[in-house]
Amino acid sequence: MERTFDALVVGAGYAGAVCARQLAEQGGKRVLVLERRDHIGGNAYDCLDQAGVLIHQYGPHIFHTNDKRVFDWLSRFTPWLDYQHRVIANIPDNAGGRMTYPVPFNLTSLETAFGPKEGKRLGDKLLAEYGAEQKVTILELRQNADPEIAALADYVYEHVFVHYTMKQWGQKPEEIDPNTTARVPVFLSRDDRYFQDAFQGMPKEGYTPMFERMLDHPNITVELGQDALKRLDVSGDEIRVDGEVFDSPVIYTGQADELFGFQFGPLPYRTLDFRFETLQQDDFQGYGTVNYTVDQDYTRITEFKHLTGQKLPGVTTIVKEYSRAFTGQPGETPYYAIINPENNAKYGQYKALADKFKNLHLLGRLAEYKYYNMDAIAGRALDLAEMLLTK
């Protein structure tokens, strides 16, 4: 192994693929990438479904960043489709029907929720108080001496935040971290884009072709359907791969608890059940993503054609997302780390075990037990590769 490869990368998602490419290209390292799934791309993987619709197998992924370095680097492997993500809340109205308005809650949402005249009056009040284009948290609104402004905070909490968060995290209202609640924004703008980042878009041909190009390098060998834990041994003082000591860098992007045999117990996660439906119609909901912020068992519905810009008349595919606790059963994917002091402490125990090996590097949303957006983890992978190459 050591004679054939200069680095082992476990996982072919953003963390693994970006790091592998940099080590191979900038450092001339021969890199072996082991991926447990039968495809590359990690959770950003996309593919055509049976109807020919380009779908995101593990939930909708929208690329956005203010990090020019990351955007430029990824742009080597894909052209981009200019896509500005807009999210709509779909909630019951007082007349037995439903209403929709942009989230994050903004001036347009205000006029839909309270009617054009009343909404405009409240909006003008907010603008006079806080200024245009500001993101004001509901904590700030609650602290306002004007009872109408304080009441607006309660409206947004109830109609946009609390039920959605309860569904997503399986929590009761009193269990929701008050700091998270306090940060819920009201955007004093008519800009209804979900993100205001400088660079936003979708890889023009999809994420998977972007990953294919990234990993297409003479120094990179990718093996799919390979559970690295069957070949990687961290039970001794030195890392062994296929039974032999391996002193070169190991970049591990899988679960930290699994790597060490769950010896301090499993790290808790939320998982998602995705229910895909293909419908014989051009358009289902007019938007990429609609959040059900008050009712329904699912959190949101995504219609892929709006994200990918794919032109395919007469057919569309949507996905409904149901959030629940991760139990570790085969076929389940851990999606979101449940960050709290207790779980962080448990993660710290696994990290301490990893730190005993000078050549073992935990990287990515699973290995670091953190939520990272795609741009953030790509940036961390670039940093790690640079550190390894200058060491």
By CB under 6 A, name the binding residues for ligand FAD.
Answer: 10-16, 34-37, 42-44, 59-62, 226-229, 253-254, 272, 335, 364-366, 372-375, 377
Min dist. Cβ of residue 89 to ligand FAD (A)? 17
Q: Which is nearer to ligand FAD, 144 or 323 (CB)?
A: 323
CA 10 to chain CA mean position, Å = 19
Whether residue 104 is preceded by a cis peptide bond, meaning omega within 30 degrees of 0, is yes
Min dist. Cβ of residue 27 to ligand FAD (A)? 20
Burial 258-278 (b: 16+ CB within 10 A, else e): bbbeeebeebbbbbbebebee
Min dist. Cβ of residue 232 to ligand FAD (A)? 8
> If residue 63 lies in a helix (H) or strand (E), which one and from where to where?
strand 63-65
Spatial strand order of the sheet with 316-325 comes to: 98-103, 87-92, 289-291, 300-303, 316-325, 269-279, 336-337
Min dist. Cβ of residue 217 to ligand FAD (A)? 18
Min dist. Cβ of residue 129 to ligand FAD (A)? 32
Whether the CB-CB separation of 288 and 317 falls below 8 Å is answered with no
Beta bridge partners of 360: 250
Min dist. Cβ of residue 111 to ligand FAD (A)? 28
How far is Cα 361 from Cα 10, in angstroms, rounded to an integer? 10
Give the number of other Cβ atoms within 10 Å of residue 131's Cβ: 10
List, as one string, the DSSP characters of 236-258. SSS-EETTEE--S-EEE-S-HHH
Q: Which is nearer to ligand FAD, 112 or 196 (CB)?
A: 196
Q: Which is nearer to ligand FAD, 14 or 157 (CB)?
A: 14
Min dist. Cβ of residue 350 to ligand FAD (A)? 14
Q: Which is nearer to ligand FAD, 43 or 90 (CB)?
A: 43
For residue 106, the 8-state DSSP code is B
Q: Which is nearer to ligand FAD, 103 or 272 (CB)?
A: 272
Two tokens, residue 30: 């021969």
* CA angle (275, 277, 282) in 5-degree steps: 145
Q: Which is nearer to ligand FAD, 107 or 210 (CB)?
A: 210
Which ranges constitute the DSSP H helices of 160-216?
A: 163-169, 178-182, 207-215
> If residue 121 lies in a helix (H) or strand (E), which one and from where to where?
helix 116-130
Q: Which is nearer to ligand FAD, 111 or 321 (CB)?
A: 321
Q: Which is nearer to ligand FAD, 150 or 166 (CB)?
A: 166
Min dist. Cβ of residue 132 to ligand FAD (A)? 27
